[in-house]
């Protein structure tokens, strides 16, 4: 599904070099991969490259066998809409829109009619267990519920790959575990891949594969049976 080949993205600030250097990794369809590593090790940098939000200095990103990182921004934007989903630490829901309207947004951007978008959004919220919260605003939902809305929003357009940056970091432990169990179930159910950046042990415990980063380098890969 996702192939990252020998990718480098270097930042130079005040004479100090940081970023990610010569990283290669693959995530198969239906698998949940975790990028683990301490603060500053390059997890977000790598997610932004995989999510086509940033371009590498060297190397390439492939999605379903197609080299995509060097495409013009217009085509990368189109791929983001069709094939990728995003989940963030801070949920990033639109505060004045209710749960259904938040989930409808990417569907409308895909050009679907309002009635179709509404139907698909309600189905996605149902899948994440929020059937009874369709018309709540983000501020009227708990953190765990807001993150489930964000997952429904990432999921509804039927992406191939979902990128999640510290999705449990704003949640207490009691919410993080069930959220990861939900992501894992979605992988298996839809043949969807997840790439999750996290240093949370409960997230790492759910992974099919763990990629360990340190100072911008890939220092280890653990494949779970
Ligand atoms: N736009 C930028 N300009 C300069 N340096 C940057 C930029 N973005 C990131 N960096 C540097 O690159 C390194 C990796 O940052 P990154 O955000 O990928 O780390 P991270 O593993 O996601 O950390 P955290 O766990 O704290 O989120 C850090 O040293 C950071 O300071
Ligand atoms: Mg980060």
User: Can you list the domains of the chain with their CATH numbers?
Assistant: 2-92+160-223 (3.40.50.300)
Quick one: average pLDDT of 102-129?
95
Estimate to the nearest angstrom the gap between the alpha carbon of 223 and the chain centroid. Answer: 20
Give the per-residue pLDDT at 225.
Answer: 82
| pTM of the full structure | 0.93
CA dist 156 and 196 (Å) reads: 18
Alpha carbon nearest to ligand 1 atom 26, residue: 39
98 HSE (CA, 13 A, CB side):
12
30 alpha carbon to ligand 1 midpoint, in Å? Answer: 28
Whether 15 is in the pocket of ligand 1, judged by its Cβ within 6 Å, is no
20 beta partners: 9
Q: By C-alpha distance, which of 16, 67, 9, 87 is closest to 42?
A: 9
CA dist 132 and 58 (Å) reads: 47
Using 50, 70 and 90 to split pLDDT, how confident is the model at 95? very high
User: What's the whole-number average pLDDT of the chain?
Assistant: 94
For the chain, the C-alpha Rg in angstroms (whole number) is 17
List, for residues 149-176, the tens digit of each pLDDT value: 999 999 999 999 999 999 888 888 778 8
Quick one: average pLDDT of 93-115?
96
Using 50, 70 and 90 to split pLDDT, how confident is the model at 90? confident
Alpha carbon nearest to ligand 1 atom 5, residue: 11
């Amino acid at each position: 599904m996702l192939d990252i080949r020998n990718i480098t993205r270097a930042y130079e600030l005040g004479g100090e070099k940081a970023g990610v250097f010569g990283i290669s990794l693959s995530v198969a369809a239906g698998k949940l991969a975790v990028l683990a590593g301490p603060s500053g090790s390059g997890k977000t940098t790598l997610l932004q490259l995989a999510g086509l939000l940033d371009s590498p200095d060297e190397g390439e990103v492939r999605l379903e066998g197609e080299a995509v990182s060097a495409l013009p921004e217009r085509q990368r934007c189109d791929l983001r809409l069709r094939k990728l989903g995003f989940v963030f630490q801070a949920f990033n829901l639109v505060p004045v829109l209710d749960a259904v309207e938040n989930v409808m947004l990417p569907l409308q951007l895909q050009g679907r009619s309002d009635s179709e978008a509404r139907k698909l959004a309600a189905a996605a919220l149902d899948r994440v267990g929020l059937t009874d919260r369709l018309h709540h605003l983000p501020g009227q939902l708990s953190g765990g519920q807001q993150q489930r809305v964000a997952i429904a929003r990432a999921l509804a357009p039927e992406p191939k790959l979902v990128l999640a940056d510290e999705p449990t970091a704003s949640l207490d432990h009691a919410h993080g575990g069930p959220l990861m169990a939900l992501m894992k179930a979605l992988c298996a159910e839809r043949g969807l891949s997840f790439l999750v950046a996290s240093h949370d042990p409960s997230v790492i415990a759910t992974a099919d594969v763990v990629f360990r980063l340190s100072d911008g380098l890939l220092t280890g890969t653990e494949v779970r049976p």
